[in-house]
Structure 1
């Protein structure tokens, strides 16, 4: 079996009280406290004005994290293969579609429809960066980050080329929130490379396991971790932020988890 390992060259984070990776690193290493605040999602960079106006929270979360990770890596976004992972899609858009279909005039706008598909963020990313490399989009409920990480590591290991992983999920309005209680938007992105370089932040290697999932000691961070499927990445990010060697276990399937060995610095 080919070892599923890679070197992390760039990280992007956006979430409640977390505007970017440096801010997240300060909080994860307890040099700063996590302040209760709604996620501030910027307008997606690189898109023409018409497309920018059509984007919803899920696209903005995904692209904000992706742009930050790629900028830190110093790589050309247009050449990176990409894996996009989310447990759902644009909850606000789904709510609006359901309202329209239940109304007396059930006529959907084209914008509502094309933003409802699961690969919408990947499409907007290709427009924003002129990316021509292949992209995969997947969903594994609360294990979506781990599934995306596995897919990304497999691509890096087999193809020997750098890959961008983007995981993201956003909140749902009622009554959908009662069935899927995600409170706020969270996005995380990693640029993974097959070989060590001067840009490498950490070396990671993943394997399946049956060990208990890693929880965070900080109560606020643990609450964030369990509140959004993309935030299941936080234990991995904590190990990288602390520059320590560790093995963290991430949510994946009901009876199978994902253990990630982290060497930072590498």
Structure 2
């Protein structure tokens, strides 16, 4: 449209990824290119070193996932976690704990675990992150069903462009169980993260142009066997972005936000 102001180009630093069969970005990057092999046997869950050993054992899977990729992304970006505002995203928080909460409240509320209640809130993971890193910057916890990563990326990009400040973006999800599984399809563990920067730095691996686009929305096609195998997790809308980062194909992506609205991305790989 003539006269339309386009959002500024932004930059991606420190991609991080974790799934039981791809526990780390380098493994995932190779697999998304069709070059690597899956981890055998699959890892059970990450062990984020940000937490003390006792906290690490008690932390639910959502927290372990989120902190693992958040720490990896910040380390790869060369930035200080204390200075980074952040956006964390999952479909509904901890799906397993939420199922436990609902079933316990329905059967015998007196048996409700205070620890599980503490970990049931949607911002539990970002709370652990803020405490563990000492970060006092702004934090958001986004929930948008099966378009949560796209919604969080839009939030992070908007904040980054408006404030001219780097933003940590983290997406994670766990299996849905009980009645929740009938409304939310989510299997396995998966998490992904990167830092969105308003300027190109020596740690930037890609740039991206972005805009909202109206009209019918449909999830992008995944090309690798590795990405398709993970496509049943609720944060799977992150997979096209990470597959594009791995392959550097520069093709436009339309990430659904709603039935008639998408986030349009055009990624460009940057030379090492």
TM-score (norm 1): 0.91
Give the 5 Å matches for 1:85-234.
85-104=89-108, 106-209=110-213, 210=215, 212-225=218-231, 227-234=232-239
Distance 1:208 1:199 in 2: 27
SS in 2 for 1:61: helix
Residues 192 and 161 of structure 1: is their aligned pair in 2 closer, same or farther, counting only changes over 3 Å? same
- Find the partner of 1:8 among 8, 12, 16: 12
CA RMSD of aligned residues (A): 2.0
Q: Deviations over 1:55-108 (max 9, x none)?
A: 101111111111111111111111100001111111221222233223346332
**Equivalent residues, number:** 265
Residues 219 and 48 of structure 1: is their aligned pair in 2 closer, same or farther, counting only changes over 3 Å? closer
- Find the partner of 1:76 among 80, 89, 92: 80
Distance 1:16 1:53 in 2: 17
**1:214 to partner: Cα distance:** 1.3
Residues 176 and 229 of structure 1: is their aligned pair in 2 closer, same or farther, counting only changes over 3 Å? closer
Q: Which runs of 5+ in 1 are unaligned?
A: none
Distance 2:191 2:259 in 1: 23
Residues 255 and 9 of structure 1: is their aligned pair in 2 closer, same or farther, counting only changes over 3 Å? same
Distance 1:37 1:49 in 2: 24
**1:153 to partner: Cα distance:** 0.5
- Structure 1 window deviating more from structure 2 (90-99 vs 158-167): it is 90-99
Q: Which runs of 4+ in 1 moved over 6 A?
A: none
Q: Which runs of 5+ in 2 are unaligned?
A: none
TM-score (norm 2): 0.90
SS in 1 for 2:152: helix
For 2:31, the equivalent position in structure 1 comes to 27
- Structure 1 window deviating more from structure 2 (162-171 vs 205-214): it is 205-214
Contact 2:252 2:265 in 1 (8 A): yes
Contact 1:39 1:186 in 2 (8 A): no
Contact 2:219 2:237 in 1 (8 A): no
- Structure 1 window deviating more from structure 2 (93-102 vs 139-148): it is 93-102
